Amino acid sequence: MRLVVSVGSLIAIILLFANQVLADIDVSIHVQDAATGKEISGTKVLIGTVGRVIAQYSDPSHGMQAEANLTVWLNDVFLETLFSGIISSGTVKIVDYTLSRVGTYKFRWQVGTEIDEAMVSTTVFVIPESPVGTLLGILAPIAALISIAFLRRPKMR
């Protein structure tokens, strides 16, 4: 009976230690506009924008190497793998990627069992209509009606 308690205590200590170890691993990813350096993760950008994908991995307590994969998805359909390999703690991967289609891009960074994702949506650039054009479109028919009414008025003698 005493042995079971000791084994149970040992298992509890191992589980607590394992949770502490896992909490030290940091896996993060974000996307910037390559031209401006502005953060674009979670935003809408124009088609053709070049995104700078920055993926980081750190394991300060152990400094272990791990298998890593950086993939791109468009509207939840796999597009391509940007990086795959073994990396060391402290690694920062930087990859430029052109957002060439309309939709929602998902950049997925997986190191071991840890996963982080960053999303960027693209849209087609639409030139907004000028308010001057709208005003002229409204005023032109009114001016035409006024001029017709003025020309057709009965002449006074």
Per-residue pLDDT tens for 49-107? 999 999 999 988 777 889 999 999 999 999 999 999 999 989 999 999 999 999 999 99
- For residues 148 and 117, the model is more confident at 117
Residue 21 scores a pLDDT above 50: no
Q: What is the mean pLDDT of residues 9-18?
A: 53
Residue 26 scores a pLDDT above 60: yes
Whole-number pLDDT of residue 19: 45
Question: Which helix or strand (DSSP H or E) is residue 21 part of?
Answer: helix 2-24
pLDDT digits (tens, 9 = 90+) for 93-128: 999 999 999 999 999 999 999 999 999 999 986 555
CA distance 73 to 104: 8
**Angle at alpha carbon of residue 91, lines to 85 and 94, rounded to 5°:** 80
14-18, 134-138, 141-145: segment of lowest average pLDDT: 14-18
Whole-number pLDDT of residue 80: 96
**Angle at alpha carbon of residue 94, lines to 90 and 98, rounded to 5°:** 160
Distances (CA, A) of 106 to 38, 81, 114: 18, 12, 16
Domains of the chain: 2-151 (2.60.40.1930)
Residue 23 scores a pLDDT above 80: no
Residue 6 scores a pLDDT above 70: no
